[in-house]
Amino acid sequence: MQIFNIDVMTLFPEIFSLTMQIGIIGRAIKNNIINLKCHQIRDFAKNKHRRVDDYPFGGGEGMIMMAEPIFQTFEHIKIARQKTPYLIMMSPKGKVLNQEIINRIRNFQDIAILCGRYEGIDQRLIDEIVDEEISIGNYVLTGGELPALVFLDTIIRTLPGVLSSENSFKHESYYNNTLEHPQYTRPQIWHNKKVPEVLLSGNHKEIKNWKKQKSKNID
């Protein structure tokens, strides 16, 4: 089984530390299903103070991440991997993440994720090395790290060997453009509310039909 390689370029690799140790992502790393590395962009800044941002040409609020430190970070990744990963930038201007995008990108063996900060990234860098921009929704966040974590979770859970059954994720919400049906567990009666009788019937055909009827189509 081939390892799925992921490189994250960020100013805050600490944000990823705990996630890399626990849950599905931690287990995937431990089981050698994925090789996930975080790269501190400041390490590739050439100036004395490891500065990675500067004022925008033409004026405006905030600071802009400079192209060169990010470019050098990506060059380092390319040399280490001995190939050029598919580079995704987390951006509010990108395509909104959905299951179709996840199913497509999971077919890449090597991906890199760029997490922006401040007011943005020099457009010349984006034009030169970024393959795709992805958003997790129409709202503003402080940086790309939280969207990257969401993106990582959605991708990694679909990889072979991560979940107990390879088909598990295919039955989850959104995979078939539906929201999952209501779920119940013990006890059968809770606060005078009963589990639907059909789920207790043992009739697999009726149960399957009930689940299909209760699943909601995504517009």
Closest CA to 125 of 71, 51, 55, 45: 71
Write the single-letter amino acid at 61: E
- pLDDT for res 219: 54
Largest CA distance in the chain: 71
- pLDDT for res 49: 87
- pLDDT for res 28: 96
Reported as a single tens digit per residue, the pLDDT across 70-91 is 999 999 999 999 999 999 999 9
- pLDDT for res 180: 84
- pLDDT for res 168: 53
| Gap between the Cα atoms of 188 and 180, Å rounded | 20
* Average pLDDT over all residues of the chain: 91
pLDDT lower than 50: segments of the chain: 173-174
| Gap between the Cα atoms of 119 and 91, Å rounded | 11
201 within 8 A of 207, measured Cβ to Cβ: yes
Angle made by CA atoms 109, 111, 114, in degrees to the nearest 5 = 175
pTM over 0.85: yes
- pLDDT for res 179: 75
Q: How many residues does the chain have?
A: 219
- pLDDT for res 60: 85
- pLDDT for res 176: 58
CA within 13 Å, CB half, 79: 6
- pLDDT for res 140: 86
Give, in order, the Cα–Cα distances in Å from 45 to each of 12, 27, 53, 143, 144: 15, 33, 10, 19, 19
